[in-house]
Chains A and B, each alone.
Chain A
Amino acid sequence: MLTLRVAVTATCIGTAARLLMYGGPVLSWLWMQHGWSENAAVKLEYAAAFGLLACIPFVFWRQAWPVLKLIAAWLLLSTFASMFTEPWHPELEPGAHAARYLAPLALAAFCAKDDERGRKLGEWLLRVGVGATFIAHGIEALLTRAQFIDYLIGGAWKLLQIDLPEGAARGILLTIGVVDVLVGAGVMLPKRWRVLALWLAFWGLLTASVRVLYLGWGNWPEMLIRVTNGAVPLTLFFLWTKAKHAQAE
């Protein structure tokens, strides 16, 4: 559970930093579309940022699990707001962010009931979260999201000094999209494929770190926010390994 607690902490820090540094979708949504004053909307986001940071110690305190629901509530609200502010395929937002807002809920399930029911609920929340995230990102890749093409071109140059042509980047992106959709669907099947969980963890952490590799360390909040994309499948890997050992005994 430590992996999951660290990941939720990272998400809290990343989200809070983003709110304080750049503002988030809730501000845009309430201010631009619902007639809130900018002042009130910024106050709400600042309050949420400080609130998220204050939640961090309680992430590690088992009995304080309801706090995790507060974290999930804000992340869900952000996702909901981004559906109304993100012009590019907003319908994919709930899926793309699923690991982010379901991770604290899964942790709450594990903490609230220390029994088989709690464990099962937590495990399935993690499966759905990471599965939906990979499928949504896979669809974005199949739609050749411009940002992803630039990550590939920029990454190839920075890491390998290869001048990747746009056509090649598009081809690679389509392959990544197909793989993401397949592995995302795979993790939601009632099977415990540990190799799959390891792949998801590797790819999730790699794509999270791309935000920093590509745009420099100044972009660290975006990386932290996405740590759950790799940490959630890593938690699944540990859970399944533990279950396998328990079964063997």
Chain B
Amino acid sequence: MRKLNNQRTALIAAAFVVGLAVLIGALVAPKGLGAADRNPDGSYTGTQLEGTTPAQWRMIWGSDPAHNATMSWTTAADPKSSGVFYDTQSHNGELAKYAHHVDAKTGRYSDDEWKLWYNHAELTGLKPDTTYWLVMVSDGIASREFHFKTAPDGDAEFKLLYGGDSRSDRDGRRTMNRRMRTLLEEDPEILALAHGGDYVREGDELEDWVEWMTDHELTVTEDGRLLPVIPARGNHEASGPIYDEIWNTPGKKDCNFYSTKIGDEFLLITLNSNISAGGNQADFLETTLKDNAKVRWQCANYHRPAYPAVKSPGAALEHWVPLFEKYNLDIAFESDGHTLKRTCAIRGGKPDATGVVYIGEGGLGVKQRTPKPDRWYFKNGVTASTLHVQKLSVKKDSLTVESITDKGEVYDTYTAKPRKR
């Protein structure tokens, strides 16, 4: 015993036991990780940021996309005048022929290093379910002609895309943007993309956003169709002002939560998991769900998951899930985990066919993690480590969500039937 008490013995014993444990740990670690595919092309093309040439185009949808939309772009110089010419028919960029014009509000992005200006033109009084052609003009320099389709009204059938986490891997992001463009070209019923947040790694660095916005141009189809974005704030956007400058402050400032109604029978509630989940936001969620209790399809979109495939649960589990269950939400779209997932239907913390299904976890370009499929809520669910985007087909008698990989393969399909409301 005396021998055991000397320090040399103690250290040898410690080195042996700890060293052995470290070795065992390395040996029992799960294998076969990090196999997500990449499609790097090496060239980052996009509209050159030069003077007041409109670049980095993005269309933003808010609460009422049947009647309103915001067309936004970036210029490298401060424009004296900026605006959008638009019409319900194409004029191939001949500005004088467009029936409508709206001025854009402009301002400098909050960044000391980069001198760039945002331009937001708010198009109001639009007709539902109508294709609009438009041209962006800053100080007389015009973009090419683009077009987009407004959301329908009434009890309409349509499609949407959902995806999150387009940060940290530019090649992956560009691959997924091209994939979304292909989907849009193949299926014109797709109206918009609901983004689940974490667009970039450093949300307070404009340089990251410049890359993101340039890459977003890849979602535009060959014939100039725009893919409108319904944005949600992720944790990597932090709380800085650039997010609001890029997306024209969706929801109120410092809130960024809002609801979008597409037609009479589809509700998408965009929440902000970067601010308090339990205070005003929970009140907003409950009021919105109560006010739309009779709407056939109800979905939510937010970043940090309640039922994660890799990490630990966020505040949504405590503050939003009880409301989802109380008002019978159909699907909650979640991001953040960098993996593909679909849970079983959950109610009261256990599988229940009448419960809410959680889909997503973010695969718009970020490197994919290996999920933890043994978690209870993946029994009868799906997990995978692959870049992906979800396509929602909203119909009168079903709501189908297909998880589509970067290769265009349908990895998983989930179909919900209308609830009794």
Binding site for B on A (CB under 8 A): 21-23, 31-33, 37-39, 42-51, 53-55, 57-58, 61, 63-64, 66-67, 70, 87-88, 146-147, 149-150, 153-154, 165-167, 169, 214-215, 219, 222
Does any Cβ of A come within 8 Å of B271's Cβ? no
5 residue pairs from A and B, CB less than 8 Å apart: A33-B168, A51-B18, A64-B11, A88-B239, A153-B278
Listed from nearest, the 8 A-B pairs whose CB atoms lie closest are: A166-B279, A50-B25, A54-B21, A38-B34, A46-B29, A63-B10, A153-B278, A47-B25
CB neighbours (8 Å) of A23 from chain B are 310-311, 369
Contacts between chains A and B (CB distance < 8 A), count? 133
Query: Which residue from B23, B32, B203, B278 sits with its C-beta under 8 Å from A47?
Result: B23
Interface size on B, residues (CB 8 A): 50
Q: If A32-B168, A87-B236 touch, does A46 touch B26 (CB 8 Å cutoff)?
A: yes
Query: Which residue from A38, A46, A63, A146 sits with its C-beta under 8 Å from B369?
Result: A38
Task: State which residues 149-189 of B face A: CB under 8 Å.
Answer: 168
Question: Is A215 touching B25 in the complex (CB atoms < 8 A)?
Answer: no
* Interface flags, B305-343, vs A, CB<8A=1, else 0: 000001111010111000000000000000000000000
Shortest distance from the beta carbon of A161 to any chain B beta carbon, whole Å? 15
Complex: how many Å from CA A219 to CA B274? 20
Query: Which residue from A48, A87, A166 sits with its C-beta under 8 Å from B280?
Result: A166
Question: Is B168 touching A150 in the complex (CB atoms < 8 A)?
Answer: no
A149's nearest neighbour on chain B, judged by CB, is: B276
Question: Is A149 touching B33 in the complex (CB atoms < 8 A)?
Answer: no
CB neighbours (8 Å) of A33 from chain B are 168
Complex: how many Å from CA A87 to CA B233? 13
Does any Cβ of A come within 8 Å of B202's Cβ? yes
Question: Is A22 touching B168 in the complex (CB atoms < 8 A)?
Answer: no
Does any Cβ of A come within 8 Å of B96's Cβ? no
* Interface flags, B202-235, vs A, CB<8A=1, else 0: 1100000000000000000000000000000001
CB neighbours (8 Å) of A219 from chain B are 312
Query: Which residue from A38, A51, A153, A214 sits with its C-beta under 8 Å from B25?
Result: A51
Complex: how many Å from CA A64 to CA B21? 16
* Interface flags, B27-56, vs A, CB<8A=1, else 0: 011111110000000000000000000000
Shortest distance from the beta carbon of A241 to any chain B beta carbon, whole Å? 29
Does any Cβ of A come within 8 Å of B277's Cβ? yes
A27's nearest neighbour on chain B, judged by CB, is: B369
Query: Which residue from B9, B21, B235 sits with its C-beta under 8 Å from A51?
Result: B21
CB neighbours (8 Å) of A57 from chain B are 17
Query: By DSSP majority rule, is chain A's interface helix, strand, loop, or mixed?
Result: helix
CB neighbours (8 Å) of B23 from chain A are 47
Binding site for A on B (CB under 8 A): 5-7, 9-11, 13-14, 17-18, 20-26, 28-34, 168, 202-203, 235-239, 274-280, 310-313, 315, 317-319, 367, 369-370
Shortest distance from the beta carbon of A60 to any chain B beta carbon, whole Å? 11
Question: Is B25 touching A166 in the complex (CB atoms < 8 A)?
Answer: no
Shortest distance from the beta carbon of B257 to any chain A beta carbon, whole Å? 12
Question: Is B318 touching A154 in the complex (CB atoms < 8 A)?
Answer: yes
Question: Is B310 touching A22 in the complex (CB atoms < 8 A)?
Answer: yes
Question: Is A66 touching B26 in the complex (CB atoms < 8 A)?
Answer: no
CB neighbours (8 Å) of B236 from chain A are 87
A70's nearest neighbour on chain B, judged by CB, is: B18
Question: Is B277 touching A150 in the complex (CB atoms < 8 A)?
Answer: yes
Question: Is A64 touching B13 in the complex (CB atoms < 8 A)?
Answer: yes
Question: Is A66 touching B25 in the complex (CB atoms < 8 A)?
Answer: no
CB neighbours (8 Å) of A70 from chain B are 18
Query: Which residue from B13, B238, B279 sits with its C-beta under 8 Å from A87?
Result: B238
CB neighbours (8 Å) of A153 from chain B are 276, 278-279, 319
Shortest distance from the beta carbon of B176 to any chain A beta carbon, whole Å? 17
Complex: how many Å from CA A170 to CA B20? 49
A20's nearest neighbour on chain B, judged by CB, is: B25
Complex: how many Å from CA A239 to CA B151? 69
Query: Which residue from B21, B30, B280 sits with its C-beta under 8 Å from A42?
Result: B30
CB neighbours (8 Å) of B6 from chain A are 63
Question: Is B34 touching A37 in the complex (CB atoms < 8 A)?
Answer: yes
Question: Is B367 touching A32 in the complex (CB atoms < 8 A)?
Answer: yes
Complex: how many Å from CA A57 to CA B315? 36
Shortest distance from the beta carbon of B216 to any chain A beta carbon, whole Å? 21
Question: Is B11 touching A43 in the complex (CB atoms < 8 A)?
Answer: no
CB neighbours (8 Å) of B274 from chain A are 146
Q: If A54-B18, A66-B14, A215-B313 touch, does A47 touch B276 (CB 8 Å cutoff)?
A: no
CB neighbours (8 Å) of A39 from chain B are 29, 31-34
Question: Is A50 touching B11 in the complex (CB atoms < 8 A)?
Answer: no
Q: Which of B21, B319, B370 has the most CB of A within 10 A?
A: B21
Complex: how many Å from CA A55 to CA B7? 16
Question: Is A51 touching B276 in the complex (CB atoms < 8 A)?
Answer: no
Q: Which of A153, A169, A219 has the most CB of B within 10 A?
A: A153
CB neighbours (8 Å) of A53 from chain B are 21
Shortest distance from the beta carbon of A160 to any chain B beta carbon, whole Å? 14
